[in-house]
Amino acid sequence: MLLPADRLAGGRLTGAWIGVMTARTRRIDALLQEEISELITREVHDPRVGFLTVTSVETAPDLGQARVWVSVIGSDDEEAATLRALQHAMPFVRRRLGERLRLKRIPELTVRSDPTVERGTRLMHLIQQLEEGKQPEPPREDLPTPRPGRSPVMPAALGRGKRGPASRQRRKRPSDGR
């Protein structure tokens, strides 16, 4: 079973799944995103599903699992209800994908909330406050706060362990005495 790669602040995967992100996987992700969006819009008739956008799909290289990232417009309660309804509808969506697509294997679908739209809105609000000369609001606890000495782009966990950047460097072969 493949495990998700280390995440950046914001919850998104850094390199999709541990493994090679191939052109085929990217094409399948785009195809799944388009088809899932259409199925949710046209065939999922659950009143709990609010206004949403499928922002991306991230598939494991073996096509065993896929994360469906959605952005929901509405209150926190409406978002939670929509995510529950979507997760409940995913077996139906998966079955319909199997009928529509010519893939050997349709991945198991897991729905996740995509926080990037909310973070972008918060960033725009902070910029507006700074331009108006106001003191920005303190950050909420669910948003990441930059810490001195840490790169906001690369989490410390990526630099350690087998899969870190140091392991990707070419290793010298032991000399055979020649």
**What pLDDT digit, counting tens, does each position of 81-122 carry?**
999 999 999 999 999 999 999 888 899 999 999 888 778 888
Distance (Å, whole) CA 147 – CA 108: 37
CA distance from start to end of the chain: 43
Q: Which fold has domain 23-137?
A: GMP Synthetase; Chain A, domain 3 (3.30.300)
Model pLDDT, residue 23: 87
**What pLDDT digit, counting tens, does each position of 138-159 carry?**
666 555 555 555 444 444 444 4
pTM exceeding the 0.85 threshold for the entire prediction: no
Closest to 85 (Cα-Cα) out of 143, 168, 161, 77: 77
Domain ranges of the chain: 23-137
More confident residue, 163 or 100: 100
Model pLDDT, residue 152: 47
Model pLDDT, residue 34: 95
